[in-house]
Chains A and B, each alone.
Chain A
């Protein structure tokens, strides 16, 4: 076995130029596969990150009417929906994929929030519990967060995000200013923001509409003060944080299932998760479909490379006919001879494959530089392509190997 590899390297090394040219087809084939797949996976990763956000892993589970979130400002809540209480949270955090959960109310803030004559046209108002900020991955940028007393003593305090701050205060310091929410005075105590400064990567106008958040600003108030502004029995939503990005779908589904268990009847209003991961998958499918064609084209060059290998191995068998004859005369069996040529073909294409991987990674980096699309190199794919190129060698080396093994030792020895 070791001997086979030694002979293979000998054979390849003693015809460096020829071996290099033979490998070229394999190198090009593998390089394009690596470059294409790295770009595809990079694009996919980008889509996922753009939609899902970087590392937040939060999933919102809310009441939906059909495909749209039910907003009690405009829509009637059916009888069978019971208001949720804190008691449901342990059931939710019990779910394997869920790390933390928070209950909140939400309404469209249109025309409801004012500071002097400046009003908020877009955005939502949230009635939140103590967990909400940490579950959602929000941090306080300036001012303070809600304190336990704020909840206990029904304090009319509010947290706002950057969008709201800019709309209402035009860059002035919002802290300790009093805003009006549904005609009630609320004191702004802090400004919050996403803990990861994540901005989606936008490479086209489509990306802009797909990924940019158009929901306007967010205003948070203690959930305990919510009933004074709105109805007591308004249904709430749940925000959960999944253990990892890949668990988001499951976390959302399980939570929705728990919440749907509280419904006392059935209709077209149910709890559903806003599944960004699922959405990302759909977008990925689209980009995959086009790129898969490219892989096929790359495979053709691999095929051509394989035929080149077969051709050169046939030449090599002819060249080494006396050597094969000698080995047979000395007692080498057919399978020994064929193993030698198979090994040589396999080693040749395997080296070609490895060089192809290097070239492919280089190409991918270049594409990424030019187009701005990130790349993602999967070591699983790298290993698979190297193994695959080895298999290509074995496949196309089979004919020459059998031919060598079949040589009649006398004829082979006679030829000089």
Chain B
């Protein structure tokens, strides 16, 4: 079991401005699973994802990641977990425009204190994995949207994380580029990576082995037939 959520609640604000976003969320993810989370806009998908990714802490409930309860362990430890065990892919890529593709990929390795020479090698390896071996030294503005997202995926996987979190990875792409991204996810899944992906598109969600739905902060699972 890599993820276990028990009675997770998340409320933003306080007093009169209280906004409850997640209600009693329970969820289990086995190692190597490939899960899609769907739901209408504003239903709390990103909020859930932030909690899973140690970018945010739940208001109440317990979250066991990789068998450990790391709730409220402080900035340094949370940064370390994000750095070493979790890979993020965002809808809008979030690449640094003044960095070459491989430098973007190597960024998390730098925070993980990997040696310089080793960083470049591993960044190139990750870029090969997403099929960008011929774009290693390109700048983001010299790449297409799909290629940018592939750089972002390479960045997420180059630390060899236990969990890959993707928030609408195809949201900003046309269907063909989106397809390529999904192919890469399939491949990563085949190699044993645990993937949790948020998406709006059914076609994309279909690729996952399991789909969870979230409505107004209530999580519901639908077994696939």
Question: Are A and B co-members of a single complex?
Answer: yes
CB pair B108–A323 under 8 Å, yes or no, is no
Those of A316-331 within 8 Å (CB) of chain B: 322-323, 325-331
Taking the nearest CB of chain A, how far is it from the CB of B53, in angstroms? Answer: 7
Whether B170 is near chain A, meaning CB under 8 Å from some CB there, is no
Whether B50 is near chain A, meaning CB under 8 Å from some CB there, is yes
Interface hit among A48-56, A172-180, A408-416: A408-416
Taking the nearest CB of chain A, how far is it from the CB of B101, in angstroms? Answer: 15
CB pair A331–B92 under 8 Å, yes or no, is no
Assuming the contacts A329-B53, A330-B82, asked whether A413 and B94 have C-beta atoms less than 8 A apart, the reply is yes
Those of A289-344 within 8 Å (CB) of chain B: 322-323, 325-334, 336
Taking the nearest CB of chain B, how far is it from the CB of A359, in angstroms? Answer: 30
Chain B contacts of A334 at CB under 8 A? 75-76, 79
| Interface residue tally for chain B (C-beta within 8 Å) | 23
Whether A3 is near chain B, meaning CB under 8 Å from some CB there, is yes
Chain A contacts of B56 at CB under 8 A? 410
Q: Report the Cα distance A416→B90, complex, angstroms.
A: 12
Name B111's contact: one of A14, A323, A336, A413 (CB within 8 Å).
Answer: A336
Taking the nearest CB of chain B, how far is it from the CB of A317, in angstroms? Answer: 16
Q: Report the Cα distance A324→B107, complex, angstroms.
A: 12
Question: Which A residue's beta carbon lies closest to that of B116?
Answer: A2
Whether B194 is near chain A, meaning CB under 8 Å from some CB there, is no
Whether A278 is near chain B, meaning CB under 8 Å from some CB there, is no
Assuming the contacts A10-B98, A409-B55, A416-B92, asked whether A331 and B75 have C-beta atoms less than 8 A apart, the reply is no
Q: Report the Cα distance A269→B55, complex, angstroms.
A: 87
Chain A contacts of B88 at CB under 8 A? 329-330
CB pair A331–B98 under 8 Å, yes or no, is no
CB pair A331–B76 under 8 Å, yes or no, is no
CB pair A330–B107 under 8 Å, yes or no, is yes
Q: Report the Cα distance A327→B112, complex, angstroms.
A: 12
CB pair A333–B79 under 8 Å, yes or no, is yes
Name B98's contact: one of A14, A322, A329 (CB within 8 Å).
Answer: A14
Name A331's contact: one of B90, B94, B96, B112 (CB within 8 Å).
Answer: B112
Taking the nearest CB of chain B, how far is it from the CB of A15, in angstroms? Answer: 12
Those of B40-58 within 8 Å (CB) of chain A: 50, 53, 55-56
CB pair B55–A331 under 8 Å, yes or no, is no
Taking the nearest CB of chain A, how far is it from the CB of B72, in angstroms? Answer: 15
Q: Report the Cα distance A325→B111, complex, angstroms.
A: 14
CB pair A413–B90 under 8 Å, yes or no, is yes
Whether B155 is near chain A, meaning CB under 8 Å from some CB there, is yes
Q: Report the Cα distance A328→B79, complex, angstroms.
A: 7
Taking the nearest CB of chain A, how far is it from the CB of B205, in angstroms? Answer: 23
CB pair A330–B83 under 8 Å, yes or no, is yes
Chain A contacts of B110 at CB under 8 A? 3
Whether B80 is near chain A, meaning CB under 8 Å from some CB there, is yes
Question: Which A residue's beta carbon lies closest to that of B50?
Answer: A410
Assuming the contacts A10-B98, A409-B55, asked whether A333 and B50 have C-beta atoms less than 8 A apart, the reply is no
Question: Which B residue's beta carbon lies closest to that of A3?
Answer: B110
CB pair B92–A330 under 8 Å, yes or no, is no
Question: Which B residue's beta carbon lies closest to that of A335?
Answer: B76
Chain A contacts of B90 at CB under 8 A? 413
Q: Report the Cα distance A195→B56, complex, angstroms.
A: 83
Chain B contacts of A409 at CB under 8 A? 55
CB pair B82–A331 under 8 Å, yes or no, is yes
Whether B179 is near chain A, meaning CB under 8 Å from some CB there, is no
Chain B contacts of A413 at CB under 8 A? 55, 90, 94
Question: Which B residue's beta carbon lies closest to that of A336?
Answer: B111
CB pair B96–A330 under 8 Å, yes or no, is no
Question: Which A residue's beta carbon lies closest to that of B75?
Answer: A334
Those of A371-416 within 8 Å (CB) of chain B: 409-410, 413, 416
Q: Report the Cα distance A14→B83, complex, angstroms.
A: 28
CB pair B79–A331 under 8 Å, yes or no, is yes
Chain B contacts of A327 at CB under 8 A? 107, 111
Interface centre among A10, A322, A331, A413 (most CB of B within 10 A): A331
Those of B105-131 within 8 Å (CB) of chain A: 107-108, 110-112
Taking the nearest CB of chain B, how far is it from the CB of A190, in angstroms? Answer: 76
CB pair B155–A331 under 8 Å, yes or no, is no
Taking the nearest CB of chain B, how far is it from the CB of A186, in angstroms? Answer: 86
Chain A contacts of B92 at CB under 8 A? 416
CB pair B55–A329 under 8 Å, yes or no, is yes
Question: Which B residue's beta carbon lies closest to that of A405?
Answer: B75
Q: Report the Cα distance A3→B83, complex, angstroms.
A: 18
Q: Report the Cα distance A366→B155, complex, angstroms.
A: 56
**Which residues of A are interface residues toward B (Cβ below 8 A)?**
3, 10, 14, 322-323, 325-334, 336, 409-410, 413, 416
Residue pairs across A and B with Cβ atoms less than 8 A apart, 15 shown, are A3-B110, A323-B96, A330-B82, A330-B108, A330-B111, A331-B82, A331-B83, A331-B108, A331-B112, A333-B75, A334-B76, A410-B56, A413-B55, A413-B90, A413-B94
Given known contacts A331-B80, A331-B82, what 17 new A-B pairs fall within 8 Å (CB)?
Answer: A14-B98, A322-B94, A328-B79, A329-B53, A329-B55, A329-B88, A330-B111, A331-B83, A331-B112, A333-B76, A334-B75, A334-B79, A336-B111, A410-B56, A413-B55, A413-B94, A416-B92
**Lowest 4 A-B CB distances belong to which pairs?**
A331-B83, A330-B108, A331-B111, A326-B94
